[in-house]
Each structure stands twice: as structure tokens, then as C-alpha cells.
């Protein structure tokens, strides 16, 4: 028996909106935003530390376990938050359906690739060669 059949159409759609996902996007956008507040402040400190660091000094800085973990957390939150934000911009301004879908998928792919590449780079730096 399909339980969905027992719900009225109003019950099914209530609170889900046109995207059919309710407040999920809104909530994840805020959670990544809250995570990014301390991570961005830390990344500004790191950037200032890297100013006059040559290759060896820069590697040593990112090899510290705390910095490596925070950098991976930073890039994950960054690309997740970027995808959610760009999604809304595309939804608002791109009105040709095939263009919108193409852009949305491209942005998702690029953000996942960016996060994976950055995370792998940090692991490589942290573990040495």
C-alpha cells in the first residue's frame, strides 16, 4: 500500500514550496554560513602567516594537524556554501530552462571537484611525499 495516496494534495505540498525540498536549502545555507564565520577568520590569519613563507615554510605550516583539519573543513564549507548561493542566483536570473539546468549541474560538478581537489591537496601536503 502506498501511504502517499492517503495524503491529500494539500498535505503533500504544504511547506515544501516550488522546489519540493521545503526549508532544507535555507537551513544548510545558514549552517555552512555559521561554520564559515570562524573558518574565514582563521583563513585570514593563515593568509597573513603565508605572506613571506617560502615553499618549505608554507608546507610546514599546513602540515600542522590543526591547520590541515581546519583547511579541509574550510574548503568543504566554502564550496558547499558557494554552490547553494550560486544556485539561487541562477534560479533568479536564468530563465531559459535548458540553460538553467546546464548551469546548475555545471556549478554542482565544479564545486564538488574543487572541494575534492583541495581536500586531496591538503592530505598530500599534510602526509608529505
Partner 1 sequence: MSETITPESARPLSPHIQIYRWQIQMVTSILHRATGVALAVGSIMVCALLLALAAGPYPYEAVRGFCGSGLGLFLLLGWTWSLCYHLLNGIRHLLHDAGMGFGIAQFIRAGWISVIGSFVLTALIWACVFARGGVA
Site for partner 1 in 69-108 (CB under 8 A): 71, 75, 78-79, 82, 85-86, 89
70 vs 78: CA distance, rounded Å: 12
Whether the CA torsion 27, 104, 76, 48 is positive or negative: it is negative
Question: Residue 4 has what DSSP assignment?
Answer: G
Distances 40 to 71, 89, 100 between C-alpha atoms, Å: 10, 22, 30
* Min dist. Cβ of residue 69 to partner 1 (A): 14
Q: Which of 1, 5, 8, 52 binds partner 1 (CB under 8 A)?
A: 52
* Helix, strand and coil percent figures for the chain, each rounded to 5: 80, 0, 20
Q: Which of 70, 77, 103, 125 binds partner 1 (CB under 8 A)?
A: 125
Q: Which is nearer to partner 1, 13 or 44 (CB)?
A: 44
Cell readout for 37 is: 564565520
**Interface contacts to partner 1, rule CB under 8 A:** 30, 33-34, 36-37, 40, 44, 48, 51-52, 54-55, 58-59, 62, 71, 75, 78-79, 82, 85-86, 89, 114, 117-118, 120-122, 124-125
Amino acid at each position: 500500500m502506498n501511504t502517499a495516496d492517503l495524503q491529500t494534495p494539500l498535505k503533500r505540498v504544504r511547506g515544501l514550496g516550488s522546489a519540493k525540498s521545503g526549508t532544507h536549502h535555507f537551513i544548510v545555507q545558514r549552517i555552512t554560513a555559521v561554520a564559515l564565520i570562524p573558518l574565514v577568520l582563521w583563513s585570514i590569519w593563515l593568509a597573513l602567516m603565508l605572506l613571506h613563507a617560502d615553499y618549505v615554510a608554507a608546507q610546514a605550516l599546513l602540515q600542522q594537524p590543526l591547520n590541515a583539519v581546519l583547511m579541509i573543513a574550510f574548503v568543504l564549507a566554502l564550496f558547499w556554501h558557494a554552490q547553494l548561493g550560486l544556485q539561487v542566483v541562477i534560479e533568479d536570473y536564468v530563465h531559459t530552462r535548458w540553460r538553467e539546468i546546464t548551469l546548475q549541474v555545471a556549478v554542482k560538478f565544479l564545486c564538488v571537484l574543487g572541494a575534492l581537489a583541495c581536500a586531496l591537496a591538503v592530505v598530500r601536503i599534510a602526509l608529505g611525499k
